[in-house]
Structure 1
Amino acid sequence: MTEELLRAPAEVKYAEELDWLESVDDAPKPFSWRLSPAMVRTFILGSERSDKLERDIAPKWFGDRTFVERSIVTLASDRGLLLIGDPGTGKSWLAELLAAAICRNSTLVVQGTAGTTEDHIKYSWNVSMVIAKGQSRESMIPSPIMTAMEGGVIGRFEELTRSTSDVQDALISILSEKYVSVPELDTDNIVFAKPGFSIIATANSRDRGVNDLSSALKRRFNFVRIPVVTNKKSEAEIVRFRTAELLRRHEIELEVPPTLLDILLQSFADLRAAAAAAGSDDEKLESALSTAEQIGVLEDAILHSQFFGDRTLRAQTLAASMVGSLVRRSPEDLSILNKFWHGVIEPRSKQEEGSPWEGFLEGGREAIATLS
């Protein structure tokens, strides 16, 4: 089935693994959870020897286990969970994995935007049915959040701070009272949440000030801040994991040389250091320089090599993809990258003559010149 989907949700992609974990899980489970808290952690972070499982479970999210454990404990309580962090830190992926492991449904999602309304959180009406038969439960269209309430499962709210304050306020009664009133109906006009219902929301820390959360809503969420991955080993694991998925999905047989992966990781680390030392925002790239953006750069380079190259990933192609992905403001970002290439990449290529750094230097220069 997964081959027929452009992107299968986690509960479909890892269905066989989840079935097996559920079959061997005899630990107590909160509410109607499909897995125990410890097994949810194992599904997300991978198995260890101390788990004494008959098969290895590969990690799917790479980060400090305390973030995962606190998230699981929050969902086992009656509070909502808010994952907050910079773009590309894996908040949405962690939310999806948590929902998949806990209730085998990660698709009850509301996407927060300026156009999100209260109807997207509560309910709307099937106009044709209302005209024909009047307002009733049958003519009501429940939101993903209301569906999660009725099923006692996890509902997700992506980019909470992108939605307006009145939309955010609609969550307050849901999180505190655990029901939604339907005043248009005379009877059967309250939808109660069943045990197991909770909400996982995500928020971009760079959106602070767009639509700040009220103190009332903040009190109803436990905050888990997901930091940018700066550990090279962890970041390399994430990039390898995502790249392997990409190659499988596109059925591409192409090797990513370890030296090129090291160059990508080092370049992003140097750019982050330069951004941290910058005196103003004008001296920083608009890009968040996240692990997700590294994966995007590598994906672009792989696909370019597959379709327009000789199916060999080269340093020049990787550099061109990196410049093309990180330049979002012109001429500001171009100027920053030009200085970076001359001040950091060029000296490094001279120190390691004959290494892929030389090709990386040349590819980046050509890309910058093309965009200038």
Structure 2
Amino acid sequence: MTDDMLRAPAEVKYAEELDYLESIDDGPKPFSWRLSPRMVRLFVLGSERADGLDREIPQKWFGDRSFVERSIVTLASDRGLLLIGDPGTGKSWLAELLSAAICRNSTLVVQGTAGTTEDHIKYSWNVSMVIAKGQSRESMIPSPIMTAMEGGVIGRFEELTRSTSDVQDALISILSEKYVSIPELDTDNIVFAKPGFSIIATANSRDRGVNDLSSALKRRFNFVRIPVVTNKRSEAEIVRFRTSELLRRHAIELEVPPSLLDVLLQSFADLRAAAASATSDDERLESALSTAEQIGVLEDAILHSQFFGDRTLRSETLGSSLVGSLARRSPEDLAILNKFWHGVVEPRSRDDDGDGPWRGFLDGGRQAISTLS
């Protein structure tokens, strides 16, 4: 079934795992949860030998265990959960995994934008049915949030701070009152949330000030701040996990040399250090330099090697992909990358062995900078 989908939701992709965990789960389950909180945590963070399972459950989200536990505890209460952090820190992925484990449905999603309206989180109408039969529950189109309320499951709201204050105000009543009134109807005009309903929202900490959350809305959420992953070991695990998924999806047989992964991780660490010491935005790359962007650089290099190379990932290709992916502003980003290549990459290449990866990485990046300049 997953072969027919470009990207299968977590509950489909990991259906066999979820079935197994549900079959052995004898822990207490809040509301209508499919798994107990302990099994939800195990599904997200992976199993350990001490868990005593007949099969291994791989880790799917890489981060501090306390963040996952606090998220699960929040969802077992009557409060909403707000995952906040920089771009690429895995907020949406964690929200999807939690929804899949708790209710086997992660697709009840509203995407927050400047064009998101109150209808997107409440309901709208099938115009042709209204003309033919009038307004009724049958001619009403429930939003993903209302569908989650009626089913007692998890609804998701992506990029909450990008939605307008009107939409945020409408969300306050849903989170506090746990029902939606339908004034257009005379009867059957209230949709009550069933036990188990909750909302997982995400917010980009870099978008602070776009549409600030009101204090009233903040009180309806428990905040879990997801930091940027800076531990190289954890970051390497995330990149390997996502890259292996990419290779399987594209049916590509290609090995990522550990030395090239080290070059990628070290380059991002150096670029983050340079951004932290910069005194103005003009001296920082527009990129957030997140783990997700590292994966994007590696994906670009792998696909380029597969389709236009000799199906071997080389350091030159990785250097070119990094420059191409991170140079978004011209000339600002190109100037920053050029300085980085001269001040950091070039000295590393001199210290490298004759056949080390930094020499090729230096040449590939230089050529890309020259082409884009």
SS at match of 1:225: strand
Unaligned runs of 5+ in 1: none
Aligned to 2:48: 48
SS at match of 2:366: helix
Aligned to 1:130: 130
Map 1:124-163 to 2 at 5 A.
124-163=124-163
Aligned to 1:360: 361
Does 2:183 align with 1:183? Answer: yes
Q: CA deviation at 1:54?
A: 1.2
Tell me whether 50-59 or 219-228 shows the greater mean CA deviation. 50-59
Aligned to 2:22: 22
Aligned to 2:370: 369
CA deviations 1:138-194 (Å, max 9, x no partner) are: 000000000000000000000000000101111001000000000000000000000
Map 1:185-204 to 2 at 5 A.
185-204=185-204
- Supply the AA of the counterpart residue of 1:250: H
1:34 and 1:228 mapped to 2: Cα distance?
31
Q: Which runs of 4+ in 1 moved over 6 A?
A: none
- Supply the AA of the counterpart residue of 1:311: R
SS at match of 1:247: helix
- Supply the AA of the counterpart residue of 2:73: V
SS at match of 1:194: coil
Q: CA deviation at 1:281?
A: 1.0
CA deviations 1:265-284 (Å, max 9, x no partner) are: 00000000000011111100
SS at match of 2:55: coil
TM-score by length of 2: 0.99
Q: CA deviation at 1:50?
A: 2.0
- Supply the AA of the counterpart residue of 1:220: R
1:231 and 1:83 mapped to 2: Cα distance?
20
Map 1:231-242 to 2 at 5 A.
231-242=231-242
SS at match of 2:259: helix
CA deviations 1:54-100 (Å, max 9, x no partner) are: 11100000000000000000000000000000000000000000000
Q: CA deviation at 1:48?
A: 1.2
1:4 and 1:172 mapped to 2: Cα distance?
38
2:49 and 2:34 mapped to 1: Cα distance?
23
1:213 and 1:47 mapped to 2: Cα distance?
37
Aligned length: 372
Aligned to 1:93: 93
Q: CA deviation at 1:101?
A: 0.1
SS at match of 2:286: coil
TM-score by length of 1: 1.00
Aligned to 1:105: 105
Map 1:196-215 to 2 at 5 A.
196-215=196-215
SS at match of 2:93: helix
Aligned to 1:33: 33
Identity of aligned residues (%): 88
